[in-house]
Amino acid sequence: MFIENLIKEIEKRDTNMYGKDFLLTWDKSQDEVEATLLVSEALKKLHANNVSTNIFDTGLAVSLFRDNSTRTRFSYGSATNMLGLTGQDLDEGKSQIAHGETVRETANMISFLTEVIGIRDDMYLGAGHTYMKDVAAALDDGYKNNVLNQRPTIVNLQCDVDHPTQSMADLAHLKDYFGSLENLRGKKIAMTWAYSPSYGKPLSVPQGIIGLMTRFGMDVQLAYPEGYGLIPEVVELAGKNAAQSGGNFKVVNSMEDAFKDADIVYPKSWAPFHVMGERTKLLRAGDQAGLKDLEKQCLANNAKFKNWECDEQKMKLTKGGKALYMHCLPADISGVSCKEGEVAASVFDRYRLETYREAGHKPFIIAAMILLGRFRDPAAVLAALDRRAKPRLGF
């Protein structure tokens, strides 16, 4: 689509994202989700056309990573940089936060000249999303009381509940791959658990996928071995979404069933909901022995489901044997990154470049979330960038 057409499409969407955070996709209306995709697409096009998207003369983009990260860290760094913001990492190890100060205080202290705060907090079930809401309330309080000149927008870079920058990038990829959001209607996507020789992986990716893809009339099947369930509220929400969008949502306990005639497969490991709950308790108690025990139990349990691998055999079950394979990366590739894992090397190899392109949407999705959170009229901003046509590189 030409940039002018994208801008026209954005104008048509009824959004109320200015001054707001992006914490959960299901907090956003259909128009808002679509506007985010369209702004992302426009930014990606401007970047490819060597047109500057620099709209913040100065300003900080704070990041707080409570878990390791390569791709989200770089996506966030790229997104904020392309908008003209400067990253400042809140490294809790180098700070005085341990000193006992409150979330409310820290949130204000880091925000005097800050435009956006990106947070990854996915280690503790029941904690990440709550923490982000506490930060949001603190920023509201500071802004209202003239502590802050501006109210920074929070972007959820993965919490215990949702991983919106991932699921939105995945959606952008599907839109690209199948041509339009309309074309997703009726398509079957299998979000399935897969075996991995590790444990404790967050639930936010599968939750994010079923919470978002059910809104587009898709046939969403969530598959996992018994006992590997997700947060019940999110599963319930997925069902409601599907009913509303004219799609389907079904939970099954067989990878083969889910793969059958699927247009898209998303095989990925996660820890069972109840294990994550127990793990959170042990982590909080600092119970190292308990954690070791839990890990041992879990790995033993995982090992019963080594056949939950996305292999060539199962791929043959999909629509024409050619379902699109998706993954948030890095995948546990059998014989490459581990002995036995989520996906067979030959399957991964065939879709390797597609998974890279999938990941390539993330910086632009994050930039779109920021632009929509900090500018009242996103279409006008994009139109001005297009008119200005300042080269990103060179003169």
Comparison of 250 and 392: residue with beta carbon closer to a copy of itself = 392
CA distance 372 to 363: 14
Answer yes or no: are the C-beta atoms of 320 and 329 closer than 8 Å: no
The CB-of-223 to a copy of itself minimum distance in angstroms stands at 24
Comparison of 286 and 394: residue with beta carbon closer to a copy of itself = 394
The CB-of-357 to a copy of itself minimum distance in angstroms stands at 6
- Eight-state DSSP code of residue 333: B
3 state SS of 244:
helix
- Eight-state DSSP code of residue 287: -
- 188 has which bridge partners? 219
The CB-of-185 to a copy of itself minimum distance in angstroms stands at 27
Comparison of 30 and 150: residue with beta carbon closer to a copy of itself = 150
Answer yes or no: are the C-beta atoms of 221 and 291 closer than 8 Å: no
Comparison of 126 and 391: residue with beta carbon closer to a copy of itself = 391
Helix (H) or strand (E) run with residue 363 in it? helix 362-374
Comparison of 93 and 232: residue with beta carbon closer to a copy of itself = 93
The CB-of-52 to a copy of itself minimum distance in angstroms stands at 4
CA distance 87 to 76: 9
Token code pair at residue 289? 């022995």
Answer yes or no: are the C-beta atoms of 36 and 72 closer than 8 Å: no
Answer yes or no: are the C-beta atoms of 342 and 193 closer than 8 Å: no
Comparison of 179 and 391: residue with beta carbon closer to a copy of itself = 391
The CB-of-140 to a copy of itself minimum distance in angstroms stands at 13
CA distance 316 to 191: 17
